[in-house]
Copies of this chain bind each other. A is one copy, B any other.
Amino acid sequence: MKAKRSARLVDMTRYLMENPNTVVPLTFFANRYDSAKSSISEDLTILRKTFMETGTGVLETIPGAAGGSMFMPGIQKQEASQFIDEVQSALADNSRVLPGGYVYMNDLLNRPSILRQIGRIIATLYSDKKIDAVLTVATKGIPVAQSVATLLNVPFVIARHDSRITDGSTISVNYISGSQKRIEKMVLSKRSLPANSNVLIVDDFLRGGGSADGLCSLIKEFDSEVAGIAFVAERDYEGQRKISEDDYTSLFKIDTNNGDIKVDLGNFTYDNFSDITKEEE
């Protein structure tokens, strides 16, 4: 279609948001809108500035023959911090405390609008890492993992405690559950992760760290590397965890002593978050 600037801006925004972390050549847009490359360049400048000012993310220019524009979704410090405050208040509700000190979070982690913001925050926390896949273990971690994977535009891979016939051939590892001291098994479909992948582990809740440790072992079995480990929340934990505090990030820290819930911020920092609201002139 021969498109006017206004239509191009709308459609380019849509296209880049639906295809994040992908280099889109200038010629793709020039052909799509039957427009001169110089006009497309001007459009991209408008998008870049607006994305920056609204904290939507960064629109990078990749130079060279294989170059183009790449949209990396993110979230600014101010929006992230306001969202974290809101979720912290929503979590701090004693009716969430379940027997054994577990915490009910399903009502938050099943809402697309909340998952998108958590995904933007975790993507920003790991924005300086190369990530080829997101890995989680069934079931509760899947929605968060999918949200992060959608923003990073990489496959997400689901390990299970029991293998199903629909997995095909699998690789399994045993690990010791950190909180319950039991030997458990975790399996992953052989076809689901290519060798030499950089893998971000994402899960909803950290207790003893046994599952995360098992996922790290699985990644090694696939000749791949752990790029990071992210949790929505961690529980106040007595004793030695299976993973070190330096190796993971959590958004919240939850303590449920005596049936009273106390929600603090987790160990993440805002180091990777920008708070620039205007492009430098």
List A residues at the B interface (Cβ < 8 Å).
1, 5-7, 9-11, 13-14, 17-19, 46-47, 49-51, 53-54, 56, 98-100, 102-107, 110-113, 115-116, 138-140, 142-143, 146-147, 149-150, 153-158, 160, 164-168, 189, 191-192, 205
Contacts and interface: CB of A to CB of B under 8 A. Distances in A.
Given A9-B9, A11-B54, A139-B164, 17 more contacts: A6-B50, A10-B13, A10-B46, A14-B17, A98-B168, A99-B165, A100-B165, A102-B166, A104-B166, A104-B168, A106-B189, A106-B192, A112-B150, A116-B150, A139-B142, A139-B160, A140-B166
Copies in the complex: 2
Nearest to A18: B116
A142 B140 contact: no
B49 A191 contact: no
A44 to B, nearest CB: 11
A45 B220 CA distance: 53
Contacts of A51: 10
Contacts of A192: 106-107, 110
B142 A104 contact: no
The 6 closest A-B pairs by CB, nearest first: A13-B13, A112-B150, A10-B50, A138-B139, A7-B50, A110-B155
Give the most central of A10, A17, A99, A116: most B CB within 10 Å. A10
A171 to B, nearest CB: 14
A112 B153 contact: yes
B191 A112 contact: no
Contacts of A105: 166
19 contacts: A7-B49, A10-B13, A10-B47, A14-B54, A18-B116, A102-B165, A102-B166, A104-B166, A106-B166, A106-B191, A110-B149, A110-B158, A111-B155, A112-B146, A112-B150, A139-B139, A139-B160, A140-B164, A146-B147
A208 to B, nearest CB: 15
